[in-house]
Amino acid sequence: MNMYDLIVKKKRGGELSRDEIEWMIRSYTDGDIPDYQMSAMMMAICFVGMTDEETKDLTLAMAHSGDMLDLSAIHGIKVDKHSTGGVGDKTSLVLAPLVASLGVPVAKMSGRGLGHTGGTIDKLESFRGFTTSLTEKQFIRNVNEIHIAIAGQTANLAPADKKLYALRDVTGTVDQMSLIASSIMSKKLASGADGIVLDVKTGDGAFMKSLDDARALAKEMVSIGKLAGKDVSAVISDMDQPLGYAVGNALEVKEAIDTLRGQGPEDLKELVLTLGSLMVVKAGAAEDTEQAGKMLEDSLNSGKAFDVFKAFIQAQGGDPEQADHPDLLTSAGYQAEVPAPTSGYVCNIHTEEIGRICLLLGGGREKKDSCIDLSVGLVLHKKKGNSVQAGEALATIHANDMQKLKEAERRLQAAFELAGEKPAPEPLIKDIIF
């Protein structure tokens, strides 16, 4: 087989066989296919698509490209969660310790930022010393001892996805349904959790812009998971505006800490409770989602979840003092408010553009080896449906570079659409696929 022929076959609308997909993934993982050929294949897939059969074969080939974690040494039913990627999506930072605070084993694999969306690992690295490079033994020990561990993709867990993820991030090939489904599900299958809850985002800030596409992606991932014997469900949630108010790594960590202390934004709390209830029921720790929701709210209000968060930060090498005093987290040198040009109601927020402004400020990667600035980003003051007076602040930008700050100000003002009429509220949770 040769990669040139496969690229041309896909470009012309052909269907790749299981053998061809397995060969391509094996050869790419081994370094025998160069990035430029794989980039061409990814782009061809973006234009031509993949059948359900190809998507399943790609997922399984990627899952088996490295080790399959054996978590049988963890007591109980292990649960994990994964988001398809959003702007201001700090859900896992709150959700994972909250679910773990009920004694449910949370064995979570997380990723870095992708395209205009942020990643949990980058955010957690805002804590001095924090690492997600855990050995299998440390990972299992932490889950058994404190019910929570969050690991990055170790070199040998779905290594094909690790390479492809970094390649797609910088070649404009992220937002394709089969590539997202196979990327997420390959990691989830390789990482050994029994129950998986997926947060499939839809809207301007998501990779799936329409609800129909989000539903199709959710169904595809749930069906791949079930085929592999996992208990999977997917929540479809709104990404037509950032989740919460903060966008940017350390800024989001601060908002997550506020939420764990019972002072977070309502939308983030609602999403965390919805996803968390499903995880708790999957783990057999509650009879139904209503009971699970009450247990989770109690744990949030009592401070138990925040205690678990601090224990988790410490167990993975971070400084828990920074959780108690978030002002000790890294912060940017300049701050500037962006005023509303006119009075009115916020009727639309160009959410992908908000993510891109964060990238411009240095909060994400432009090249595979770019270093990101954890301190930069923005904090919204107004969300959809809020009224605003001319000159009032729509958002505050946090930057370390004056020139970038100026460009961000201009783009951020244009990212808000104001109107005379208050828009009808949109539900955060659009659907749940079982």
Contact call for residue 111 and ligand URA (CB under 6 A): yes
* Minimum gap (Å) between residue 349 Cβ and ligand URA: 21
Q: Closer to ligand URA at the Cβ: 165 or 416?
A: 165
Question: At closest approach, how far in Å is the CB of 61 from ligand URA?
Answer: 15
Tokens of 234: 């997917």
Find the shortest distance in angstroms from Cβ 11 to ligand URA: 21
Round to whole Å and give the CA distance between 329 and 143: 26
Given a contact cutoff of 8 angstroms between Cβ atoms, the answer to whether 95 and 275 are in contact is yes
Estimate the share of the chain in helix, then strand, then coil, as percent rounded to the nearest 5: 45, 15, 35
- Which amino acid, 174? V
Q: Is 242 in the site for ligand URA (CB under 6 A)?
A: no
Q: Which residues contact 149 (CB under 8 A, 6 or more apart)?
A: 106, 107, 108, 134, 138, 139, 140, 142, 143, 312, 315, 316
**Does 152 interact with ligand URA (rule: CB under 6 A)?**
no
We find the least distance from the C-beta atom of residue 60 to ligand URA, in angstroms, to be: 16
Shorter beta-carbon distance to ligand URA: residue 174 or 280 = 174
Angle between helices 18-29 and 159-169 (to 10 degrees): 80
85 binds ligand URA (CB under 6 A): yes
Quick one: tokens of 338?
A: 């962006």
CA atoms within 13 A on the CB side of 422: 8
Residues that contact ligand URA, how many (by CB under 6 A) = 10
Residue 121 or 300: the one with the smaller Cβ distance to ligand URA is 121
Q: Tell me if 91 contacts ligand URA by CB under 6 A.
A: no
Shortest distance, CB of residue 385 to ligand URA, whole angstroms? 28
Report helix, strand or coil for 301. helix
Task: Please list the active-site residues.
Answer: 82, 161, 168, 183, 187
Region 167-196 residues binding ligand URA, contact defined as CB under 6 A: 174, 179-180, 183-184
Closest residue to ligand URA using C-beta atoms: 183
How far apart CA 25 and CA 61 sit, in angstroms, is: 7
Q: List interacting residues with ligand URA (CB under 6 A).
A: 84-85, 111, 114, 165, 174, 179-180, 183-184
